[in-house]
Amino acid sequence: MLTIDKLETGREVVIERVGGEGATRTHFLDMGLIPGASLKVVAKAPTGDPIQLLISGYALTLRKADAADIQVRDPLPGELDATAAKVPEDEDNHGRNSYLHDHNAHPGLGEGGKYHSKDHENPLPKGTVLSFALAGQQNCGKTTLFNVLTGSNQHVGNFPGVTVDRKEGVIKGRPDTLITDLPGIYSLSPYTAEELVSREFILNPDTRGLINIVDASNIERNLYLTLQLMELGVPMVLALNMMDEVRGNGGSIRINEMERILGIPVVGISAAKNEGVDELVEHAMHVARYQEAPARNDFCGKDDNGGAVHRCLHSVIHLIENNAAAAGIPARFAATKLIEGDDWVEQALKLGSGEREAIEQIIVTMEEERGLDRAAAIADMRYTFIHKLCAQTVVKPQESKEYRRSRRIDKILTGKWTAIPIFVFIMALVIWLTIDVLGAPLQDLLDQGITALGSDVGSLLARWNVSPAVQSLVVDAVFGGVGSVVSFVPIIVILFFFLSMLEDSGYMARVAYVTDSFLRKLGLSGRSIVPLLIGLGCSVPGVMASRTLPSARDRRKTILLTPFMSCSAKLPIYGFLSSAFFPGHGGLVLVCLYLLSVLTGILVALVGKHIDGSSDPAPFVMELPNYRLPQLRNVGHLMWDKTKDFLQRAFTVIFLATLVIWFLQTFDFRFNMVENGEGSMLAWIAGLLAPLFAPIGLGDWRIVTAFISGFLAKESVVATMEVLDVLSSLTTATAVSMLVFSLLYTPCVAAIAAVKRELGSKWALFVIVFQCLVAWVVAFGAYRLALLIL
């Protein structure tokens, strides 16, 4: 029995049977791994696992263990060149649309003028907000289109699953619209948390229309979702994105023909070049305003493979018609999901035991007649329709130049002996360039400017006879605190510049592919690397990015480990203490700290895996996007977003925290001013906690205060240290301890809020307590070691 895991690189085969079970198997089928499909093994990761496959013109990665579930055979002579038969058009549409018969006419769906018949129109009342969902598979350009449509600056990446939360906006020049950018989904079978979010949103009755964006250069797999969306009966428009790439590679798509066969408006666009977007909006507005549902929602041919699936589907539709209407779910959609074994749909339909038995009998009969199990039969039905549709309407280029280029680059970046050294080199280079080469000089420059300004303002206040307390408030709290944090803007911006370059180029997806076998040993998935790397920038998006992980267990583990990755907001702490205690060795200190955080994370993961006692993590099924030159606009947007975010935090949360800390450390409980903070309210509060920190050499109330302020925002630690003059109380050994504790202790309140949102209050509380404990233990060790060595 030949399975994919046993294939050597370069071998081309045909899938015979897809094994596995549950959601994973459904996902295999959704991704086009169906019986009869051909595939080629194009590469293997450095450790031989995962495997990279080429299927339907796109690259897919699969672990060997999962690949062992897919049986294949050598292709029969001429089998790979076989073309699909002609599509059985409109035979199931009962003659609803006469234009479907006229091959030459422009269908004019979703258009006004002569194409719009007023006889059957059903317009929404004037003033109704047209709420659209922007749906599509991962990495097909949804967020790029969203940005073009709304004029917003949402982050766009070249990695499947960049959008992890819904984003809303108003279409430019259309104030009565609201468009929601949904996370990428491969089908409407709930496989990941983001697929559930998207599915629930689309099924919401407030959604007036759908804009389904597909990657035209990978159209067959993308249309798989389109067919399921059409089954929902919601007015929709199909946007064929990246048409410029298709044309550039010698391909073409007969758009009118596709529109005629599908029965929905089809518009060719290039979201990145803003081509065809106005036409898309016009069509979307029209179908939503007049509630024009897709003319076709039936994709099973009467004669396809004996017609078993067709008979089964229509029998089930008739059986559940009333239940589906009562549940508010389109009958056709409910029937296919019921056959696929979707629990959510089955519960929503509230079927009686007799109906359930009858349906089961129908499905079993279909399985016997078709020779495929239920899920594979439905997937095969959809792909059969898609292949026929594409045979009639799509002229595909043999192999895109983007793909050829990616293959050449991958030979080095994911090569057996080169992948890991290059990854380590790239990450080290990013840190070195960020901190030592570019960041430090710019930061010094900004710091000098802020200090000079603070000194000038201080002199001015003194000349105006402003009271010493208020002078201290302005000079120490505002300029000393907020100013010192602002001076770190260059480092943050440069770090995000490099991270966004790596992501936008498509390299991040390769890092996931290359590191999967290592991360699996820690009980994680290769996809976990992305949240962890994003966590180097900020834990909040890192925690949110874990939503792309299909398994709840992998997701939880990744979320718990993400805060161990040192976020960029801690850089000011490292810079501040390094320049004071390890001048000229800032880069080395930083590399040591990053290594320590990674090692601690690995240790925690191993302990977690041991306690958890779980078996292998969820399957690693991921699409590898083609490499592309990072788009300056995307990188610029991300840098601007991060700078804005950092400055907003500096002048809001950090400003307020600085004011509160200044107030508490300047006055006692009788509101008398105190000297040097001694006897202040803050000294008393922090003094209560200080004994806990004494064993790690940090039993000074001022240090404890800095840690407390760091819970609000890590940037505040340096501000508080400045205001309270913490440096004077530190030695080199205690500085080491402080660096280590700052590296590992609880993430800021924003990150905790993100953990709470993803995992609930109990886990959020666990993160706070657990990280403080780990930080204390590691800082204790580091402090004792430093006392011995230094």
Partner 1 sequence: MNAATAAVLVVILAAAVAAVVFSVHRSRRKDSSACCGCALKGLCNKK
Q: Which is nearer to partner 1, 245 or 722 (CB)?
A: 722
Q: Which is nearer to partner 1, 408 or 633 (CB)?
A: 633
Q: Which listed residue (84, 203, 442, 466) binds partner 1 by CB under 8 A?
A: 466
Contact between 200 and partner 1 by CB under 8 A: the answer reads: no
105: nearest Cα among 115, 90, 91: 115
Which of the residues 133 through 172 are near partner 1 (CB under 8 A)? Answer: 150, 152, 165-170
CB of 178 to partner 1, least distance (A): 6
CB of 166 to partner 1, least distance (A): 7
How far is 538 from 136, CA to CA, in rounded Å?
27
Q: Which listed residue (461, 519, 730, 786) binds partner 1 by CB under 8 A?
A: 461
CB of 151 to partner 1, least distance (A): 8
How far is 280 from 125, CA to CA, in rounded Å?
22
CB of 626 to partner 1, least distance (A): 28
The residue range among 90-98, 321-329, 575-583, 650-658 that interacts with partner 1, by the rule CB under 8 A, is 650-658
How far is 534 from 157, CA to CA, in rounded Å?
12
Tokens 């993160």 belong to residue: 767
Q: Which is nearer to partner 1, 462 or 790 (CB)?
A: 462
CB of 672 to partner 1, least distance (A): 16
CB of 60 to partner 1, least distance (A): 30
CB of 147 to partner 1, least distance (A): 10
Q: Which listed residue (77, 78, 125, 175) binds partner 1 by CB under 8 A?
A: 175
Burial zone of 518 (CB within 10 Å; 0-12 exposed, 13-18 middle, 19+ buried):
middle
CB of 143 to partner 1, least distance (A): 12
Q: Residue 62: what are its φ and ψ, rounded to 5°? A: -150, 135
Q: Which is nearer to partner 1, 656 or 688 (CB)?
A: 656
Contact between 761 and partner 1 by CB under 8 A: the answer reads: no
**Residue 549 CA from chain centroid, whole number:** 9
Q: Which is nearer to partner 1, 170 or 433 (CB)?
A: 170
CB of 492 to partner 1, least distance (A): 18
Exposure string of 593-629, with b = 16+ CB inside 10 Å and e = fewer, is bbebbbebbbebbeebbeeeeeeebbbbbbbbbbbee
| DSSP state, residue 474 | I
How far is 380 from 300, CA to CA, in rounded Å?
10
Binding-site size, partner 1 (CB under 8 A): 26
Q: Which is nearer to partner 1, 448 or 459 (CB)?
A: 459
**Consecutive H or E run containing 252:** strand 252-253
Phi-psi label, residue 480: left if phi above 0, alpha if psi -120 to 50, beta otherwise: alpha
Sign of torsion over alpha carbons 708, 710, 713, 717: positive
Q: Which is nearer to partner 1, 471 or 626 (CB)?
A: 471
Q: Which is nearer to partner 1, 167 or 314 (CB)?
A: 167
566: nearest Cα among 553, 575, 557: 575
Sheet containing 51-55, strands listed edge to edge, beginning at the edge strand earlier in sequence: 70-73, 12-18, 38-44, 51-55, 58-62, 622-624
Q: Which is nearer to partner 1, 127 or 354 (CB)?
A: 127
CB of 541 to partner 1, least distance (A): 11
CB of 169 to partner 1, least distance (A): 4
**What does the DSSP assignment read for 6-19?**
GPPTT-EEEEEEE-
Strand, helix or coil at 398? coil
How far is 616 from 626, CA to CA, in rounded Å?
29
Q: Which listed residue (552, 606, 607, 656) binds partner 1 by CB under 8 A?
A: 656
Q: Which is nearer to partner 1, 111 or 165 (CB)?
A: 165
| DSSP state, residue 165 | S
CB of 455 to partner 1, least distance (A): 16
Per-residue binder mask for partner 1 (CB under 8 A), 470-489, x = binder: x--xx---x-----------
Q: Which is nearer to partner 1, 653 or 689 (CB)?
A: 653
Q: Which listed residue (653, 685, 777, 787) binds partner 1 by CB under 8 A?
A: 653
Sheet containing 266-268, strands listed edge to edge, beginning at the edge strand earlier in sequence: 167-169, 177-181, 130-136, 209-215, 236-241, 266-268
Which of the residues 58 through 97 are near partner 1 (CB under 8 A)? Answer: none
CB of 753 to partner 1, least distance (A): 9
Which of the residues 330 through 369 are near partner 1 (CB under 8 A)? Answer: none
Q: Which is nearer to partner 1, 2 or 466 (CB)?
A: 466
The residue range among 64-72, 218-226, 386-394, 463-471 that interacts with partner 1, by the rule CB under 8 A, is 463-471
CB 737 within 8 A of CB 775: no
User: DSSP strand E in 310-461: where?
Assistant: 394-395
570: nearest Cα among 442, 440, 714, 768: 714
Q: Which is nearer to partner 1, 127 or 583 (CB)?
A: 127
CB atoms within 10 A of CB 465: 7
Contact between 652 and partner 1 by CB under 8 A: the answer reads: yes
CB of 425 to partner 1, least distance (A): 35
51: nearest Cα among 69, 30, 75, 34: 69
The residue range among 379-387, 460-468, 568-576, 725-733 that interacts with partner 1, by the rule CB under 8 A, is 460-468
Contact between 178 and partner 1 by CB under 8 A: the answer reads: yes
The residue range among 199-207, 426-434, 466-474, 605-613 that interacts with partner 1, by the rule CB under 8 A, is 466-474
Q: Which is nearer to partner 1, 267 or 461 (CB)?
A: 461
Q: Which is nearer to partner 1, 648 or 731 (CB)?
A: 648
CB of 537 to partner 1, least distance (A): 17
How far is 12 from 683, CA to CA, in rounded Å?
72
How far is 162 from 159, CA to CA, in rounded Å?
6
Contact between 659 and partner 1 by CB under 8 A: the answer reads: yes
- Residue 453: half-sphere exposure toward Cβ, Cα within 13 Å: 14
How far is 5 from 68, CA to CA, in rounded Å?
5
Q: Which is nearer to partner 1, 28 or 655 (CB)?
A: 655
**Pair of tokens at residue 48:** 């031989």
Q: Which listed residue (361, 448, 614, 648) binds partner 1 by CB under 8 A?
A: 648
Phi-psi label, residue 683: left if phi above 0, alpha if psi -120 to 50, beta otherwise: alpha
Contact between 671 and partner 1 by CB under 8 A: the answer reads: no
Note the residues at the interface with partner 1 (CB under 8 A): 150, 152, 165-170, 175, 178, 461, 464-467, 470, 473-474, 478, 648, 651-653, 655-656, 659
